[in-house]
Amino acid sequence: MKLFCFNHRMLSGVQHGIQGIHATVNILKAYAEPHRPTIPMTAAQIAWDWAYHHETVVILSAGNGSRMRELKELLSKQEEFPWAEFREPDADNMITSICVVLPERVYNPSNFGIDYRMISPSERELWIDEFNRFKAGCQGAQ
């Protein structure tokens, strides 16, 4: 399990870490609030499992503002994986970081050929295509 922080490309090296921390804190705050019954328990469990047992962080440059909005739209369509954004007040509330906690079955390509029964067809289509597209875009944006 890893936390992926997708950051706006205009950030400097240090800012990537700082903005990612802001979004990570937003994940923990959002998924720790017991008065938020709309959050699926599995997403909250994933967030806290990562925080207590994994703590691995991957920070990537996600490109420009439109790519950040695309990622937000993608994550908004699912409820399984905990995620949050951070908007920098000193940059006109621009989205500077979006972080998501993903289990290994999502980000490890070697797992995709092992047991697709673990992932529903619609989820598989969405996550494999979109995650690979964003990963490729992030590598190209650096």
Task: Show the tokens assigned to 65.
Answer: 């503002």
Cα–Cα distance between 116 and 100 in angstroms, integer?
22
Q: Which residues have a Cβ under 8 Å from the Cβ of 66 and sit 6 or more positions away? A: none
For 2-141, CATH number?
3.40.1490.10
Cα–Cα distance between 83 and 11 in angstroms, integer?
20
What pTM did the predictor assign? Answer: 0.72
Per-residue pLDDT of the chain (142 residues; tens, 9 = 90+): 899 999 999 998 899 899 999 999 999 888 876 555 566 668 888 888 888 888 889 898 888 899 999 999 989 988 888 999 999 999 999 999 999 998 887 776 555 554 545 556 665 566 566 666 666 655 554 4
> What's the alpha-carbon Rg for the chain, to the nearest Å?
15
Question: What are the boundaries of each domain within the chain?
Answer: 2-141
Q: Are 116 and 15 in contact (CB under 8 A)?
A: no
